[in-house]
Amino acid sequence: MTTSDAPPAQETTLEPTAATRHLCAGVYVDERFRDLVIDEVCTAPHRRVAPSYGFDIVPVMQHAWRAAALRALPRATLLAAIAGPLLTGSVPAGVLIASGFGLLLLLRLAVRMRGVDSQSMTAGRSRRRVPDPLRAHRILLRFLLPRVTTPKARVVKRVTTAALWLALTMLAIGLLYPGQALTALLLAAVLTLVYLAVGATRQLILNRILRTPALRPSRLSGRQQAADRQQHHMCAVYRRTRHSDDEDDDLTMFTLFGDQSPFIGAGELVYQWNPPMSIPLLRAEADDEPLHEREHAVPPFKAHELVEYIREAVLPLNADSRAVRLPAEVRDRVYVAETDVAVDRSLLPHHFTRSELRAIINTPESKQHHFLEIITPADGSEFVATVLLHVSLQGRTLSLSTAACVLAHTPRAFQRGEEFGHHGATAVIWAAFNELSALPNDIQYSWRILRYLYTLAKAAVLPRDLTRTPIRNILIGSR
């Protein structure tokens, strides 16, 4: 029986799966996913990291920090381009830079307004026109004295007016302070080079993620070591469903954990025996006796013996012929409710010995629920199917509970780097100029640099693992 946890990170030499590569790439292409990794894994030491199925969380954490640094660098440069001249006494140069940013924001607003009223305009054109003898005069009058009649037209007028005022301001400052205008041009050139370099660097990292044989860092930080231990730990801490007073609750549906899946990290729960299957243990040689007399006074086997038998029956699937071979990984998993761990921290040991695991399997009323996991990864672990079996002997009845979970593929945006034209030297050049086109969007969200500073401060101050020490009103269940 396998009772030890996975080997330390330094001893893991397996090549990363396709799912790991795609998740590492995802933190660069999806800012919300990157923030999710940083907030829920990198800077959440009070919560257990969920078990990893088919991927490794450690390189994802490392690349999440790199992606955040690459995103923060151009935004910090953008703010410095305005604050630097103002703090050094070059106020006209700072005003020129700020006015240029304002024009870019107005340009972004104009692009987003395209096609807002296309449906209404199309409907208006489809109407039958009535002959108008004064149509030519009305057109000339509308051209000379335009009238604002629609909300979109009013917004366009305001955007155009603001753009003209900003352009006139920049022209006036450039004529009055030519030296300051040259300084502003140099700052704009530096900002452009920073954006081009960041875009090219990001694409080079994505190219490396696709072909490097190892993604894990050679030396792990304290938080990465804690996350690595937790993702491979046999025990998973789930969040118990809150009590509901809703009268519409279906009380006929009974499960061991409630109406939510406790199988953290395993994906979507697609099948479950509900209620668990109960099998009376009867003696085969007494068919003519009453049912209550045929029952074994003492069960003929222990629960852990049946678990071992099932384990040995599943393992040969890996050795079948190629036509029927099913790559299966069999391992033990122990689930504990976060409220129970808050009362007794001994329910979450550093590791399980053989005797401790057998005691959990053979104790039906234990707060530690043992499941035998049968995992089948496919397509580079982009698709992972997991079957979980719970065996319990209660009285003279064998109780079997099983569930099936599916972890689906990563989003296409995470996998796009493998497609034609999205990697290589050409993709690097394209990514550099594509990053430059994101400048107007960064101007609007430049305030998020404060969020980066807060995240760095939290990562520097918080301990690496707070799940071992009980803290008042803090539950450690995985999300």
Q: What is the pLDDT of residues 240-292, one digit of tens each?
A: 766 555 544 444 444 556 567 889 999 999 988 877 888 888 777 666 666 66
**Neighbour count for residue 70 (Cβ, 10 Å):** 17
What residues contact 429, with CB distance under 8 A and at least 6 apart?
Answer: 200
Q: What is the mean pLDDT of residues 448-465?
A: 92
**pLDDT score at 136:** 55
**pLDDT score at 293:** 65
Dist CA 335 CA 389 (whole Å): 12
How far the first Cα of the chain sits from its last, in Å, is 29
3-state secondary structure the chain: CCCCCCCCHHHCCCCCCHHHHHHHHHHHHCHHHHHHHHHHHHCCCCCCCCCCCCCCHHHHHHHHHHHHHHHHHHHHHHHHHHHHHHHCCCHHHHHHHHHHHHHHHHHHHHHHCCCCCHHHHHHHHCCCCCCCCCHHHHHHHHHHCCCCCCHHHHHHHHHHHHHHHHHHHHHHHHHHCHHHHHHHHHHHHHHHHHHHHHHHHHHHHHHHHHHCCCCCCCCCCHHHHHHHHHHHCCEEEECCCCCCCCCCCCCCCCCCCCCCCCCCCCCEEEEECCCCEEEECECCCCCCCCHHHHECCCCCCCHHHHHHHHHHHHHHHHHCCCCCCCCCEEEEEEEEEHHHHHHCHHHCCCCCCHHHHHHHHHCCCCCCEEEEEEEEEECCCCEEEEEEEEEEEECCEEEEEEEEEEECCCCHHHHHHHCCCCCCHHHHHHHHHHHHCCHHHHHHCHHHHHHHHHHHHHHHHCCCCCCCCCCCCCCCCCC
Dist CA 36 CA 41 (whole Å): 8
**pLDDT score at 289:** 66
Q: What is the mean pLDDT of residues 160-174?
A: 88
**CA Rg value for the chain:** 32
What residues contact 274, with CB distance under 8 A and at least 6 apart?
Answer: 253, 254, 255
Amino acid identity, position 453: L
pLDDT over 60 at 182, yes or no: yes
Confidence of residue 146 (pLDDT cuts 50, 70, 90): low
Which has more pLDDT, 273 or 432? 432
Are 402 and 268 in contact by the 8 Å Cβ rule? The answer is: no
217 φ, ψ (degrees, to nearest 5): -65, 150
Among 401, 140, 399, smallest CA distance to 255 is for 401
- Residue 59 has which token pair? 């390189």
**pLDDT score at 125:** 47
Q: How many percent of the chain have pLDDT more than 70?
A: 82
The pLDDT mean for the chain works out to 84
Amino acid identity, position 305: E
Taking phi over 0 as left and psi of -120 to 50 as alpha, with beta for the rest, 363 belongs to: beta
Which of 1-5, 115-119, 285-289, 397-401 holds the top average pLDDT?
A: 397-401
Dist CA 397 CA 281 (whole Å): 6
Which has more pLDDT, 404 or 260? 404
Dist CA 337 CA 476 (whole Å): 9
Are 187 and 85 in contact by the 8 Å Cβ rule? The answer is: yes
**pLDDT score at 301:** 87
Confidence of residue 300 (pLDDT cuts 50, 70, 90): confident
Among 90, 77, 88, smallest CA distance to 192 is for 77
**pLDDT score at 118:** 46
